[in-house]
Amino acid sequence: MAPSAAEEDAAAGSSGRLLVLYASQTGNAMDVAERIGREAERGGCPATAVDVRSMDSFDPSCLPRERFVVFVVSTTGQGDHPDSMKAFWRYLLRKDLTKQWLEGLHYAVFGLGDSGYQKYNFPAKKLDQRISDLGAERIVEKGLGDDQHPSGYEGALDPWLLSLWKSLNETNPSLLPRVSDITDPNSNILGDPKVEVIYYSSNEVLEDCKISDPKKLIKNARSMSPALKFHDDGEQPHMLQMVTNQRLTKEGSDRDVRHFELEDPSSAISYKVGDALEILPCQNPSDVDAFIRRCNLDPDCYITVQAKCGDKVSKGPVVNNSLIHPIKLKTFVALTMDVASASPRRYFFEARTIMLTFWTSFICFMSNIYIDVMSFHATAEHEKEKLQYFASPEGRDDLYQYNQKESRTVLEVLEDFPSVQMPFEWLVQLTPPLKKRAFSISSSPLAHPNQIDLTVSIVSWLTPFKRTRHGLCSTWLAGLNPSNDNLIPCWIHQGSLPPPRPMVPLVLIGPGTGCAPFRAFVEERAAQAATEPTAPVLFFFGCRNQDNDFLYKDFWLTHAQDQGVLSLKKGGGLFVAFSRDQAQKVYVQHKIKEQSARVWNLLCSGAAIYIAGSSTKMPADVTAALEEVICQESGETKVGASKWLRTLERAGRFNIETWS
């Protein structure tokens, strides 16, 4: 009988290995964990003594058998645990675990978060405290990576890693990594790519293995990409058709916000209010063609791609029952590799050993790895020197300006260094994956069966050198003509705003495009009101100008009249803050305080609070305004008001959905 996962973990734990456990939502925590594993091996740890794995693949009951564990934890939503951490965390919260349960364990925690959010790095902070409470000993103090730092999370990771290796050297120098080897600047071995590409000519691929169904083609291509294993769940997409593309902001204004309506021409769509729609954007075909030409690739050859592990798969005829079908190289690039909107960065491993330096730019450090591979493959001496300079500590500021500040794409970097000819295996590995983009659904299935509405801001910005850059997905959507048969690959996922029951009063706060999910809530409540009793709704909306960007103005005003769900007669209300229409700026938090009595009365009636919008200052300012309302209307202290909101949150009655 094969050993269980727990038996395998228990046996491995007794060997004194370095265990690296990560909880990743989008792949960044996995990147960090794999870097830790590679540096440990580079420092002298045998590969068999280093185990890097996702938290959901490790049996937490075996944790006491480990000696050295490094945890790498990302943050999702508003301080939530990644999905792969939830079962592990529930186990750690068991009441039968004693304060001595983890005695003998040495551990370290590194978190990835964004200080723009209120619950900055909460999963890492809570994990660090809980592991300590259970008797384990810290190797080093927890590290907290911050996306807001000029260097991204690398700004905290680099010095934290150096401290980790030094501490481990002191703890057990005979087994664990030697920091002198890890930081050796003279080690310059490129190594091998971690992916394998197998090429087939067209006549080698059986006709019934050539996929024509777009749903299957997308699933097949993206399941082939090792870089996408933490971005996709393997589901086939819905292929939705755009039927409406309407500008909501005034023509000529500096903001372009669109209302899109999507339908499935072939089957029904099932979703709930509060859900999100993920869209796979289409890259400009001319950019894909330019990338393929620049890299001297054959767009029409067929390929399969896989991560290297164990024995290689030999090249040969395609087997009918193969789970992965070869696809055209051009199709693979278009569906999986972000060649013309994302900047080059490190993904699954460093291409060669580099000195641990304290960089001042996240993308600078990320690009260093990409640049290292490029310099290895450059044939023109002046290009090689320039790339090596970019990869050096002395060149970090210039690289930062060249790459991150200018949002330089992979295609642009390759075109700037024409002598570089990188094998496709390296390109697959180091080119950022083409990620889906998520949007809050702004329609109710009760009001619009088989239709999904989106409210999307069309993204564009100027670089320091005055180059205009455009968001890939929003720009593509804005350019689609509803009269054409444009099919959009989409996936429906549960959002972070749970759908409320009809008799729960609502306090909704959604400035700007944060109104999107609440348009769905109001539509749903109006449809419910036609057949059953419903509770009132207060909605606070904010924008710059009444004339330029009052999104869905007629919709809100209609539902605020007579017996509409936002009407004062029904106990609800619509309150709009136009921040630029007067000398003194007015925001949604000011309107909340103006309507203090109404807000308090609904809260006392069991209302749920929902906040959606920008992740910068808005959530904190709105939360402070709500605390002020509670203090003013109830006589509570500020501390008491804060506890009051936390109680609502634990009860599922205080929900926040924000984005950068």
pLDDT classification of 315: cutoffs 50, 70, 90: very low
Q: Regarding predicted confidence, which is higher, 610 or 116?
A: 610
Both tokens of 644, joined, read 């009051």
361 is in an annotated binding site: no
* Average pLDDT over every residue of 446-471: 93
440 is in an annotated binding site: yes
* Residue 399, CA distances (Å) to 138, 383, 411 in order: 36, 14, 16
91 is in an annotated binding site: no
77 is in an annotated binding site: yes
621 is in an annotated binding site: yes
659 is in an annotated binding site: yes
**525 — phi, psi (to 5°)?**
-65, -35
pLDDT of residue 371: 54
90 is in an annotated binding site: no
Whether residue 174 is predicted with pLDDT greater than 80 in this model: the reply is no
pLDDT digits (tens, 9 = 90+) for 344-360: 764 322 334 333 332 23
Whether residue 5 is predicted with pLDDT greater than 90 in this model: the reply is no
Answer with the one of 119, 152, 182 that is the final residue of a domain.
182
* Residue 461, CA distances (Å) to 7, 405, 467 in order: 54, 11, 8
401 is in an annotated binding site: no
pLDDT of residue 386: 87
Return the CATH number at 580: 3.40.50.80
651 is in an annotated binding site: no
**506 — phi, psi (to 5°)?**
-125, 140
Whether residue 325 is predicted with pLDDT greater than 80 in this model: the reply is yes
Whether residue 318 is predicted with pLDDT greater than 60 in this model: the reply is no
List of E strands, 435-484:
437-440, 451-457, 460-462, 468-470
Whether residue 660 is predicted with pLDDT greater than 80 in this model: the reply is no
DSSP tally for the chain: helices H, then strands E: 21, 22
580 is in an annotated binding site: yes
Q: Which residues, in sequence order, are CB contacts of 136 under 8 Å at separation 6+?
A: 102, 103, 105, 106, 107
Whether residue 259 is predicted with pLDDT greater than 90 in this model: the reply is yes
| 12 domain-assigned | yes
| 618 domain-assigned | yes
pLDDT classification of 151: cutoffs 50, 70, 90: low
pLDDT classification of 191: cutoffs 50, 70, 90: low
| Tally of domains in the chain | 2
438 is in an annotated binding site: yes
Answer with the one of 153, 182, 211 that is the final residue of a domain.
182
Contact 63, 81 (CB under 8 A): no
Closest CA to 450 of 635, 657, 269, 252: 269
631 is in an annotated binding site: no
Which among 46-60, 74-88, 191-205, 283-297 has the top mean pLDDT? Answer: 283-297
pLDDT of residue 403: 80
Residue 261: strand, helix, or coil = strand
pLDDT of residue 480: 96
75 is in an annotated binding site: yes
264 is in an annotated binding site: no
501 is in an annotated binding site: no
Distance CA 425, CA 219 (A): 20
In angstroms and rounded to an integer, the radius of gyration of the C-alpha atoms of the chain is: 27
Provide the CB-side half-sphere exposure for 32 (13 A, CA): 30
| 442 domain-assigned | no
Q: Regarding predicted confidence, which is higher, 116 or 588?
A: 588
**198 — phi, psi (to 5°)?**
-110, 130
586 is in an annotated binding site: yes
Mean of per-residue pLDDT scores for the chain: 85
Q: Does the pTM of the predicted model rise above 0.85?
A: no
Q: Which residues, in sequence order, are CB contacts of 35 under 8 Å at separation 6+?
A: 161, 346, 349, 350
Answer with the one of 182, 204, 232 that is the final residue of a domain.
182
439 is in an annotated binding site: yes
pLDDT of residue 346: 41
pLDDT digits (tens, 9 = 90+) for 385-422: 888 887 665 776 677 778 877 888 999 999 999 999 99
| 86 domain-assigned | yes
pLDDT classification of 173: cutoffs 50, 70, 90: low
Q: Regarding predicted confidence, which is higher, 48 or 258?
A: 258
27 is in an annotated binding site: yes
pLDDT of residue 543: 96
585 is in an annotated binding site: yes
* Average pLDDT over every residue of 361-376: 52
| 553 domain-assigned | yes
474 is in an annotated binding site: yes
Q: Return the minimum-mean-pLDDT range out of 61-70, 232-241, 445-454.
A: 232-241
Most distant pair of Cα atoms in the chain: their distance: 79
437 is in an annotated binding site: yes
Contact 289, 300 (CB under 8 A): no
Distance CA 510, CA 352 (A): 47
| 73 domain-assigned | yes
243 is in an annotated binding site: no
**653: containing domain:** 506-659
180 is in an annotated binding site: no
| 92 domain-assigned | yes
Whether residue 18 is predicted with pLDDT greater than 60 in this model: the reply is yes
Whether residue 341 is predicted with pLDDT greater than 90 in this model: the reply is yes
| 272 domain-assigned | no
Return the CATH number at 143: 3.40.50.360
pLDDT of residue 541: 98
